[in-house]
Amino acid sequence: MCPAVEKHVFISYASADRPAAERVRDDLESDGIACWMAPRDVPPGADYATAITDAIGSCRVLLLLFSASAAASDHIEREVHLAVSAKAVIVPLRLEPLEPVGSLKYLLANVQRIDAFPRLEPQLRLLSAEIRRVLPVRAAASGPTRRSPFQHVLAAAGAWAVVIGFEVLLLEWIRRVWFNLVSFWSMPVEILRAPALAFLLAIPLIAALALQYLAHRNLNRIATLDALFAVSAGGGARVRLGGSACLWLGAAIAIVLTPATVTVRLADGKIEGGDSYLRARNCLPSASYTVQSANHYAVDLRVGSRNPPGKYMLRAELMPYATADGVEFCEVWLDRSFGVTRVTPMSDDQRSSGYVEVEGAFDLVAVHRSLLFNVRHYRDSEPSPLTTVTASATRGPVQATDDEPIALPLR
Question: Mean pLDDT for the chain?
Answer: 78
- Whether residue 209 sits in one domain with residue 177: yes
Lowest mean pLDDT among 45-54, 130-139, 270-279, 291-300: 270-279
Least trusted range by pLDDT, from 132-136, 190-194, 275-279 = 275-279
pLDDT at residue 331 tops 80: no
* Residue 290: pLDDT band with limits 50, 70, 90: low
Instruction: Give the per-residue pLDDT at 136.
Output: 65
Q: How far apart are CA 1 and CA 20, in angstroms?
A: 23
pLDDT average, residue stretch 145-174? 81
- Note whether 19 and 136 are same-domain residues: yes
Residues 27, 125 share a domain? yes
pLDDT range class, residue 225, cuts 50, 70, 90: confident
pLDDT at 356: 80
Write down which residue in 120, 142, 164 finishes a domain: 142
**Cα(326)–Cα(318) distance, integer angstroms:** 12
- Residue that is last in its domain, among 90, 115, 142: 142
Together in a domain, 349 and 235: no
Are residues 65 and 99 part of one domain? yes
More confident residue, 12 or 335: 12
Looking at the structure, do residues 6 and 129 belong to the same domain, yes or no? yes
Q: Are residues 156 and 181 in the same domain?
A: yes
Interval 227-238: pLDDT, tens: 666 554 444 556
Q: Is the pLDDT of residue 81 over 80?
A: yes
What pLDDT, on the 0 to 100 scale, is given for residue 335? 78
Tell me if 354 sits within 8 A of 392, measured CB to CB. Answer: no
Q: Provide mean pLDDT across the span 255-281.
A: 73
Alpha-carbon Rg of the chain, whole angstroms?
A: 36
Question: What is the residue range of 72's domain?
Answer: 2-142
Q: Is the pLDDT of residue 138 over 70?
A: no
Distance CA(404)–CA(39), nearest Å, equals: 60
Tell me: do 92 and 173 sit in the same domain.
Answer: no
Same-domain status, 246 and 279: no
Q: Hey, what long-range contacts does 4-8 have (CB within 8 A, 24 or more apart)?
A: 5/34, 5/36, 5/41, 6/34, 6/142, 6/143, 7/34, 7/35, 7/36, 7/41, 7/55, 7/58, 7/59, 8/33, 8/34, 8/35, 8/59, 8/60, 8/61, 8/135, 8/139, 8/140, 8/142, 8/143
| pLDDT confidence tier of residue 397, bands split at 50, 70 and 90 | confident
**pLDDT higher than 60, residue 241:** yes
Residue 110's domain is classified under what CATH number?
3.40.50.10140
Q: Output the pLDDT for position 140.
A: 45
Q: End-to-end CA distance of the chain, in Å? A: 82
For residues 98 and 174, state if they share a domain: no
| Top-confidence residue, 2 or 150 | 150
Average pLDDT over residues 356-380: 70
Q: What are phi and psi of 27, to 5 degrees?
A: -70, -40
Using the 3D structure, point to which of 73, 107, 142 is the last residue of a domain: 142
At residue 71, the pLDDT reads 93
10 and 132 both lie in a single domain: yes
CATH (domain of 321): 2.60.40
Whether pLDDT at 324 is above 60? no
Burial annotation 285-314 (CB, 10 A radius, 16+ → b, else e): eeeeeeebebbbbbbbbbbbebbeeeebbb
Position 5 scores a pLDDT of: 47
- The predicted pLDDT at position 47 comes to 92
Distance CA 180, CA 401 (A): 11
- Out of 62-66, 122-126, 382-386, least confident range: 382-386
pLDDT at position 246 = 83
| Cα distance between residue 195 and residue 53, in whole Å | 58
What pLDDT is attached to residue 120? 87
Going by pLDDT thresholds of 50, 70 and 90, the confidence category of residue 271 is low
Q: Measure the CA–CA gap between 356 and 389, rounded to whole angstroms.
A: 11
C-beta separation of 240 from 213 below 8 A: no
The pLDDT of residue 76: 95
Question: Looking at the 3D structure of the chain, how many domains does it have?
Answer: 3
Q: What is the pLDDT of residues 93-122, one digit of tens each?
A: 999 999 999 999 999 988 889 999 888 888
266 and 403 together in one domain: yes
Most trustworthy range by pLDDT among 83-92, 240-249, 274-283, 357-366:
83-92
SS3 track for the chain: CHHHHCCCEEEECCHHHHHHHHHHHHHHHHCCCCEECCCCCCCCCCCHHHHHHHHHHHCCEEEEEECHHHHCCHHHHHHHHHHHHCCCEEEEEECCCCCCCHHHHHHCCCCCCEECCCCCHHHHHHHHHHHHHHCCHHHHHHCCCCCCHHHHHHHHHHHHHHHHHHHHHHHHHHHHHHCCCCCHHHHHHHHCCCHHHHHHHHHHHHHHHHHHHHHHCCHHHHHHCHHHHCCCCCCCHHHHHHHHHHHHHHHHHHHHHCCCCEEEEECCCCCCCCCCEEEEECCCCCCCCCCCEEEEEEEEECCCCCCCCCCEEEEEEEECCCCCCCEEEEEEEEEHHHCEEEEECCCHHHCCCCEEEEEECCCCCCCEEEEEEEEEECCCCCCCCCCEEEEEEEECCEEEECCCCEECCCC
Q: Is the pLDDT of residue 4 over 60?
A: no
**Which region among 20-34, 64-78, 254-268, 334-348 has the lowest average model confidence (pLDDT)?**
334-348
Task: Calculate mean pLDDT across residues 369-397.
Answer: 74
CB neighbour list of residue 209: distance below 8 Å, 6 or more residues apart: 222, 223, 225
Which pLDDT belongs to residue 114? 93
Pick the range with the lowest mean pLDDT from 206-210, 234-238, 310-314, 366-370.
Answer: 234-238
Rounded mean pLDDT, 345-357: 59
